[in-house]
Copies of this chain bind each other. A is one copy, B any other.
């Protein structure tokens, strides 16, 4: 984080009166615009704040998102583009829909292009259709999962992408994707700068795992873990439906266990949660398998939730390399754990009935929940406001309860994980009663 410049990049000085004036600023009514001076502390730690301010220093702060009174682009002369990259996530269509609605109805920008199949769609030679997006074409998409633009993984050549955008006359590009995608978006923006093409690139961070850095939560995450609770309900019913039943639920989460933690807290019939952030010893007296055995002896059933990326260190076998997005291929912790449990109890001559449930894509390709609908809509509104103001190389996000502008470079730096010392994991321990560590 140390190397990131927190100043939000801008294409120039906004000098155009926003068309939202008629909407937001009526006689006798306060004006609903956000001034550039409105900032929120990046990290409101009292001790730090006190120290810095007492010394006359200045703290790190971030701009509040929202409509500006003066904008940079002339809406009616502007063309916008939208692209969705990486895996599906609930709410992508909500974001697309509201970007279109805001541009079209509120700003009067009527030429909006949807690029197909991720960054491939920005490469002319792929020959993918470029969709024209209007309020009519997006009217009903907030009720559907997936992405009407489809997606792909991996980066493409920045120079070719900027050339194509230039050819089409696109001045603002909305990029919906994860940390890899944001690195790609930064490349695009920087290449545009280099060739002096005026292009605002605004990111809307997306990851179903909730592992985006520096924001309160990523859109679609609530929908995903909520849907995952159904697998826990089933696992619990199955586990109680037989003797020594073990309901084992594998959930998404390659490098972070947010879905596993929240799903387990939401449907608190879970006895063990295993996540990538907390190492687990399977064997030994205080190891997981022994603790599971004691649980079964006492209660005759158990429910386990395991994040897919857990226990990578103990899973034997070869390195599986990286996928097209550059993500390390993970070894499936669910199947691994099922096999180890089976082997252990066979060895112990104790009959257990494992019911393995992997909801897989179900939790990420469904329609967004109402709260995620709201979140997506507000992210999209703020993304449009930011682009119109001439900002670029930034993302919109929720931080400490406020919609803010964050430098794209900041979020592209890595991934967020569950803090093994934090409130969330502590709640999980309290809720499940599992030991803080299997050792």
Q: How many copies does the complex hold?
A: 4
Q: Is A131 an interface residue (CB 8 A)?
A: no
Interface assignment of A373: CB less than 8 Å from any CB of chain B: yes
Which of A88, A147, A370, A433 has the most chain B CB atoms closer than 10 A to its own CB?
A370
Asked if B106 contacts A400 (CB within 8 A), the reply is no
Is the beta-carbon distance between B365 and A106 smaller than 8 angstroms?
A: no
Give the CA-CA distance A278 to B151 in the complex, in Å. 35
Q: Does A350 contact B (CB under 8 A)?
A: no
- With contacts A29-B437, A216-B401 taken as known, whether A24 is within 8 angstroms of B56 at the C-beta atoms is no
User: Are A356 and B365 CB-contacts (below 8 A) given A23-B429, A29-B437?
Assistant: no
A window 361-403: CB within 8 A of B: 361-362, 365-366, 369-371, 373-374, 377-378, 381, 400-403
Check A412 for interface membership: any CB of B closer than 8 A.
Answer: no
Question: How far is the CB of A139 from the nearest CB of chain B, in Å?
Answer: 9
Contacts of A216 in B (CB 8 A): 401
Residues of B within 8 A of A59 (CB): 46
Q: Is the CB of A26 within 8 A of B378?
A: no
B267 and A370 form a contact (CB under 8 A): yes
Of B241, B263, B426, the residue contacting A24 (CB under 8 A) is B426
Q: A264-280: which residues lie under 8 A (CB-CB) from chain B?
A: 265-268
Please state if B26 and A437 are interface contacts (CB–CB under 8 Å).
yes
What is the minimal beta-carbon distance from A132 to any residue of chain B, in angstroms? 15
| Bound-complex Cα distance A416 to B29 (A) | 20
Please tell me the size bucket of the interface on A: 35 or more
Cβ contact within 8 Å between B360 and A268 = no
Contact (Cβ within 8 A) A41 B32: no
Cβ–Cβ contact A234 & B361, under 8 A: yes
A111 CB within 8 Å of chain B: no
In the assembled complex, which residues on chain B have CB atoms less than 8 Å from the CB atom of A431?
Answer: 98, 101, 377, 381
* 18 pairs of residues in contact across A and B, judged by CB atoms under 8 Å: A26-B439, A27-B439, A28-B439, A32-B425, A40-B44, A53-B54, A98-B431, A120-B243, A144-B237, A150-B243, A152-B242, A226-B371, A237-B365, A266-B374, A267-B373, A358-B360, A359-B359, A400-B401
- Having A146-B236, A355-B361, one finds 12 other A-B pairs with CB under 8 Å, namely A28-B439, A32-B425, A88-B237, A98-B431, A142-B267, A146-B238, A151-B241, A233-B365, A266-B370, A378-B423, A378-B427, A381-B427
Interface residues of A (CB under 8 A from B): 20, 23-30, 32, 39-41, 44, 46, 49-50, 53-54, 56, 59, 61, 66-67, 88, 97-98, 101-102, 105-106, 117, 120, 140, 142-147, 150-152, 216, 222, 225-226, 229-231, 233-238, 240-243, 262-263, 265-268, 355-362, 365-366, 369-371, 373-374, 377-378, 381, 400-403, 420-421, 423, 425-427, 429-431, 433, 435-437, 439
